Amino acid sequence: MVVDNSSASYARPGGIAARFEAAGWSVVTVDGRDHEALYAAFTAPHPGRPHAVVARVEPKHA
């Protein structure tokens, strides 16, 4: 699980999920406060590939 609060200094087009996808990972991005979406993302099939769940949350100073 990766928490994305939009604080990356060196952002990449497509966000943090794009970094994992470029490396061949299965990636699901969800609202980090939505427990049902998080559960679905964690249990999603990802045969033969590592799996990352990107949980978007608002920046701390928002």
pLDDT for 1-44, tens place per residue?
998 887 776 667 778 899 899 999 999 999 999 999 999 999 99
**Inside any domain, residue 61:** no
- CA of residue 46 relative to chain centroid, distance: 14
Q: Tell me, what amino acid is at 19? A: R
Give me the pLDDT at residue 31, please: 96
Q: Is residue 49 part of a domain?
A: yes
Task: Tell me whether residue 12 is in a domain.
Answer: yes
Residue 6 resides in a domain:
yes
Residue 9: what pLDDT?
61
Asked if residues 25 and 54 have their Cβ atoms less than 8 Å apart, the reply is no
Q: Quick one: which H or E segment has residue 55? A: strand 51-56
Give the number of domains in the chain: 1
pLDDT of 59 higher than 70: yes
Tell me if 62 is assigned to some domain: no
Burial 8-18 (b: 16+ CB within 10 A, else e): eeeeeeebbbe
Query: What is the pLDDT, as a whole number, of residue 53?
Result: 97
Domain containing residue 46: 2-56
- Residue 62 confidence class, pLDDT cut points 50, 70, 90: low
